Amino acid sequence: MKYALIALAALTVPASSLQAQPAAKPLVGDSNAPITISSDSFQADLNSKTGTWAGNVVVVQGDMKLRANSVRMSTVNGKADKVMANGNVVVDSPKSGIVTGETGVYAVVPRTVVMSGNVVLKKGRDVMRGTQLTVNLTTGQAVLGGGVKSQTPGSTQNSGRVQGVFLPNSQ
């Protein structure tokens, strides 16, 4: 369970730091802080070794907060294996900013986070947009992809390109 918010916290890579970063520079908050999870319901499946929080899910660790429609965690040998947040995923950190998307998946062993579906990263007034964000927590590398171009002439949705707006002197 301790790893649950590490994954979610990693989704808050600031928009202005999507370039390579040294591995020594942490991308997550305090992984030793207590984790609280609240939701409308919780269901455990002992056969598949999963737990699912559903309805207005809020996960908090330190100053990091995740909100989603549902969060599912799978385990292997009693330890967290994957944490999957679905539906209107919002990860907020005062230090790192806000990232939103439709889904977020943290794979514990390879230490990777993938955020998908109209991904928006905001820090201060700086904003980046794409369709998929992949973060390797071991290497500190992050990649924001633009996705497939829209087939509708004149459409700005899913333009196939990563978009960024950076304002000088922005925090």
Res 7: pLDDT: 33
At residue 160, the 3 state secondary structure works out as coil
DSSP 46-95: TTTTEEEEEEEEEEEETTEEEEEEEEEEEEETTEEEEEEEEEEEEEEETT
Closest CA to 166 of 119, 116, 122, 127: 127
CA distances from 125 to 94, 115, 128, 160, 169 (A): 13, 21, 10, 23, 10
What are the residue ranges spanned by the domains of the chain? 3-165
| Domain 3-165: assigned CATH number | 2.60.450.10
Res 71: pLDDT: 95
User: CA 115, CA 137: separation in Å to the nearest integer?
Assistant: 13
Residue 161 one-letter amino acid: R
Count CB atoms within 10 A of the CB of residue 154: 5
Number of residues that make up the chain: 171
pLDDT tens digit sequence for 5-50: 333 333 333 333 333 333 333 345 566 777 788 999 999 999 999 9
Count Cβ neighbours within 10 Å for each residue of 119-149 and write b for 16 or more, e otherwise: bbbbbeebbbbbbbbebbbeebebebeebee
User: CA 90, CA 111: separation in Å to the nearest integer?
Assistant: 20
Res 4: pLDDT: 35
Task: Write out the chain's pLDDT in tens, 171 residues.
Answer: 333 333 333 333 333 333 333 333 334 556 677 778 899 999 999 999 999 999 999 988 888 788 999 999 999 998 888 889 999 999 888 877 888 999 998 888 888 888 999 999 898 889 999 999 888 877 878 899 987 655 556 555 556 789 999 988 755
Structure tokens at 137: 């927590």
